[in-house]
Structure 1
């Protein structure tokens, strides 16, 4: 009898202990709600940024990007790209390309960015993701000193030079005066076109203002810039359409460079004034 009583007491105490530790066995445990930080961690990670960016450029496009006397790549856009890379913590590598094949170079991933006086156009937006405009530019008309050409309509019957693949080509072709040209002669680069102008093989060159004025300033007695032009355009940095994360990071760097004076300092070194938007 004492053994039975002891056994009953043991069972009773065990039941009390289980009740105290586990609560009501008929209750269903409430589901655990994840914290906000857990939810964010479970979401898809942001696209990883590269450790190095290959920048495609035309290395004969002073003062934006060109080779100096030591064959080093220098220029306004190169300095801007290096400063942006430093802000982003990403190495910038510069790769000269055939500028007329720039979109295929970008799409094939042989380069990651186009940063060399690249004009933003609606047509290019179909294949290129652009930064915000960082500079305004005009397609100016350069003639030889003493030329009878004074206004755009004077190009009637003349041979006009232009860089193949540049934004000057569609700008000219969109203007009615282009139909009056004797020839629109396309060159591999602006430098060769301006050299031909200097020896009077052609009558005029339509070129990006930043390039044209750079050369006119070097040879002010040989070239003249007309007041007429073939329109205003904006420069931007080009990336692949899918590189939205890179675009956002680059734009943050460009905005910071504008705010802290970095871009103004670079512009003053190359143009004598701050021309960055």
Structure 2
């Protein structure tokens, strides 16, 4: 009797383990699905952005989200047939927000790097950029070497932060032995203006726009920089069809000059790749 009960229990246990395994596989398969079909059913896509990153995506005097990437995303998804909603996020947590499903895209001057490619899929690059060093107009800092012993500000989690830290010997020479991190580029520039920082490293596209708005004579952009880079749109790696739809729309917008018109609106010239 006992042997029969033990045998029965073993059969039940094997059955339960098999069911759990099948369930787990089913969940894994479901989680690996491309999101495009669900987005079509839902009717909209959520773009994550840093809403202080002018001129790519930022708030105007009426607190409306505007910018080059905002206009570009709206034009793309009008062609794809989806409404686009913009979700401000903590930029240092952007990949986590994407892969946890809180947003569907990272699109806001998002630099393509090998490290980020491990976490997300990128579209083809659509803009070029470089990491420039900005100081006040009367500063005696004229080169990278002059940053030794100085306070250098960057945005946390940004490509600027990564670019600066690729030169560890130089970083070790900064005051405090590391760059000063801020949640936004605006805060970094305000710290520079207040004289608490000596220099800011930032995306040239943002820096040039910021300088133009605040006064060209107030700042100086050094000839040295921390490298050139390209902007792309970040997606979850499983979202292959969504990526194809976006790239198809971008290609069409180059052909009919929609992207060049948006570029001229924000930069005064066509800088789209």
The counterpart of 1:146, out of the listed 138, 146, 154, is 138
Alignment-derived partner of residue 23 in structure 1:
none
Higher helix proportion: 2
Following superposition, the deviation at residue 82 of structure 1 comes to 0.2
Q: Does the aligned pair in 1 maintain the 2:35–2:239 contact within 8 Å?
A: no
Q: Does the aligned pair in 1 maintain the 2:109–2:232 contact within 8 Å?
A: yes
Q: How does 1:1-277 map to 2 (within 5 A)?
A: 48=37, 50=39, 51-175=43-167, 176-183=169-176, 184-218=179-213, 219-277=215-273
Q: Does the aligned pair in 2 maintain the 1:134–1:276 contact within 8 Å?
A: yes
Following superposition, the deviation at residue 178 of structure 1 comes to 1.7
TM-score (norm 1): 0.82
TM-score (norm 2): 0.83
For structure 2, which runs of at least 5 residues remain unmatched after alignment?
A: 1-33
For structure 1, which runs of at least 5 residues remain unmatched after alignment?
A: 1-44
Structure 2 CA distance, aligned partners of 1:214 and 1:46? Answer: 35
SS of 1:236's equivalent? strand
SS of 1:136's equivalent? strand
Following superposition, the deviation at residue 197 of structure 1 comes to 0.6
SS of 2:237's equivalent? coil
Structure 2 CA distance, aligned partners of 1:230 and 1:241? Answer: 29
Q: CA RMSD in A?
A: 1.4
Following superposition, the deviation at residue 48 of structure 1 comes to 2.1
SS of 1:63's equivalent? coil
Give the greater-gyration-radius structure (CA): 1
